[in-house]
Amino acid sequence: MDDIRSLTKEELAGRMKELGEKSFRTKQIFCWLHQKKVCSFDDMTDLSKSLRSRLKEEFKLSPLKIKTFQESKKDGTRKYLFELEDGNLIEGVFMRYRDWNTVCISSQAGCDMGCSFCASTVEGCAGSLTAAEMLDEVYAMEKDTGERVSDVVVMGSGEPLLNYDALISFIKNLTDKDGKNLSARSVTVSTCGIVPGIKRLAEESIPVNLALSLHAPTNEKRRSIMPITKKYPLEEVIRACRYYFEKTGRRITFEYALISGVNDTGGDAGELKRLLTGFPCHINLIPVNPVRENGYRAPDRQKALAFKNTLENFGINVTIRRELGGDIDGACGQLRRKHL
């Protein structure tokens, strides 16, 4: 039985037609699900009792359970641990900025990508999320905080391009004018470099932002911390990113976790220049979060700034990501691992 929120509006229209319902019921039900965010068919009070009963027979509504959360005393960031219907645990993060709120959501329960600096991958991947589960991460955090979410990043646990169909349904429902009506330009999808998925996303005509988890400027270094590089070398990944830019006009963000003694030297900055020269892009430097299993640590502030300044002198657009949730288990996978 499908969770009805996983259906796009077009798919819902098809199911309503199969049930012999009039076409206006599609918009009516879709608004209940994605604007009013009801958690029970009984709450759809302008539907007949017979239709509500039929919906219960055909579909399910399975809201996520908030198992626990942590709130930063420094900046109000909230890290949520959600429990899925099958008992698996996933994470989401609610981040407050001056004029907007951003949530970071997971696309899988855990991750199989094996990036050595990330806690999400330590236990592997327990399964992919449905579109409904991804949506409910957003809805649950809005409901719990009482605040509107204006930006969504699919940058939590998991590789979203390996959960492609659910990802696209999630984006379509999130951006539908009869749903939350979020601009596609306010959605960012992060990938470690699944080349066929990047090309396929470029063809969707949905102008979401693409972020590539780069983290090293050469194949040799990247293979040592990101095993996916063995399957998709950097040259192929960068070509796919250039294709995405050409098809969508959306500037690519390259996420770069700064790891002391691994990828933070002047030579690394020079290799980044070689790799990205002539590419309209942005590099987001992220001082790596400590993870007990790997022993990595971030460079000190002075060295991080020196790395940033070197890239700027090369003409590359670069920032150091503002640290949020530093006093809680803010990094991907940390809170989940604590409860496994």
Question: Domain locations in the chain?
Answer: 4-58, 65-339
Q: What is the pLDDT of residues 182-199, one digit of tens each?
A: 999 999 999 999 999 999
Q: What is the pLDDT of residues 34-65, one digit of tens each?
A: 999 999 999 999 999 999 999 999 999 999 99
Q: What is the C-alpha to C-alpha distance for residues 181 and 306, in angstroms, rounded to an integer?
A: 41
Q: Are 253 and 286 in contact (CB under 8 A)?
A: no
Q: What is the pLDDT of residues 198-219, one digit of tens each?
A: 999 999 989 999 999 999 999 9
Query: Which residue in 192, 241, 281, 332 is the catalytic one?
Result: 332
Task: Report CA dihedral (305, 309, 312, 317) to the nearest 10 degrees.
Answer: 0
Please give the share of the chain, as a percent, with pLDDT higher than 70: 94
Q: What is the pLDDT of residues 288-329, one digit of tens each?
A: 887 666 678 999 999 999 999 999 999 999 999 876 656 655
Q: What is the C-alpha to C-alpha distance for residues 198 and 303, in angstroms, rounded to an integer?
A: 33
Using alpha carbons, select from 117, 119, 156, 113 the residue that is nearest to residue 297: 117
Question: Looking at the domain that runs over 4-58, which CATH code has it been given?
Answer: 1.10.150.530
pLDDT band at 228; cut points 50, 70, 90 = very high
Residue 281 appears among annotated catalytic residues: no
Query: Region 265-272: what's the mean pLDDT?
Result: 96
Question: Any idea which architecture 65-339 has in CATH?
Answer: Alpha-Beta Barrel (3.20)
Q: What is the pLDDT of residues 58-109, one digit of tens each?
A: 999 999 999 999 998 888 899 999 999 999 999 999 999 889 999 999 999 9
Query: Which residue in 21, 91, 159, 255 is the catalytic one?
Result: 91
Residue 332 appears among annotated catalytic residues: yes
